[in-house]
Chain A
Amino acid sequence: AQTVTQSQPEMSVQEAETVTLSCTYDTSESDYYLFWYKQPPSRQMILVIRQEAYKQQNATENRFSVNFQKAAKSFSLKISDSQLGDAAMYFCAYRRNYGGSQGNLIFGKGTKLSVKP
């Protein structure tokens, strides 16, 4: 069975600094997606970034980038120039790709990020 592990329950970063959130996963599949979601206190789950396993290039979305190491099954999220609005719970998630139809998301336990002004 697939599992997703986030080993950092809480992290803190100074405003304008850079922080990296860790995520590892376990799977025997070769075709899958990885995601980072942000959940602020409003509880709305917001998709931050997506990575396809078959792509070697790391995904980036503005200040957010990932370091995807497929062999090591590692998928970390880097937030550059941290802003107060980045404070939230961050979830790493895995989805197996069944060709034309996809399975459900498997979530890690989350990392609570605080941003200090």
Chain B
Amino acid sequence: SAVISQKPSRDICQRGTSLTIQCQVDSQVTMMFWYRQQPGQSLTLIATANQGSEATYESGFVIDKFPISRPNLTFSTLTVSNMSPEDSSIYLCSAWTGLEQYFGPGTRLTVT
């Protein structure tokens, strides 16, 4: 199994600013992902965080808006840039261990 922590757990940010979310896994994992979950909705994949190379983004998500880093096999960051109220959501980090996929507790972001 894998235990995933995220910081911050929640934040309220002003329009036009940026927020960086950190994700730490307690063991080395093959793949890490970032998801967005809007209230009452399912999860939407933003990107796959690749260790040592650029992230792979899903349709509708771009690097300039959601830059991602993954400096090693246990850590990743997601930045939400130039925020607008439409970015208000829960952002979840996830990791694939080779057998199962685990999720962090999420970061609740509110943009005012």
A91 contacts B42, C-beta separation under 8 Å = yes
A45 contacts B100, C-beta separation under 8 Å = no
B24-52 contact mask (Cβ, 8 Å, vs A): 1 or 0: 00000011010001000111010010000
A-B contact count (CB 8 A): 45
A102 contacts B96, C-beta separation under 8 Å = yes
Binding site for A on B (CB under 8 A): 30-31, 33, 37, 41-43, 45, 48, 90, 92, 94, 96, 98, 100-103, 105-106, 108
Give A35 to B96 CA distance when docked, in angstroms.
Answer: 13
A93-105 contact mask (Cβ, 8 Å, vs B): 1 or 0: 0010000011011
Residues of B within 8 A of A42 (CB): 105
9 contacts between A and B (CB under 8 A): A43-B90, A43-B105, A45-B102, A47-B100, A95-B101, A101-B30, A105-B33, A105-B45, A109-B41
Residues of A within 8 A of B102 (CB): 45, 47
Interface residues on chain A, number (Cβ under 8 Å): 18
Binding site for B on A (CB under 8 A): 35, 37, 42-45, 47, 50, 91, 95, 101-102, 104-105, 107-110
Which residue of chain B has the shortest Cβ distance to A108 in the bound complex? B42
Residues of B within 8 A of A43 (CB): 37, 90, 105-106, 108
B45 contacts A109, C-beta separation under 8 Å = no
B43 contacts A91, C-beta separation under 8 Å = yes
Which residue of chain B has the shortest Cβ distance to A105 in the bound complex? B101
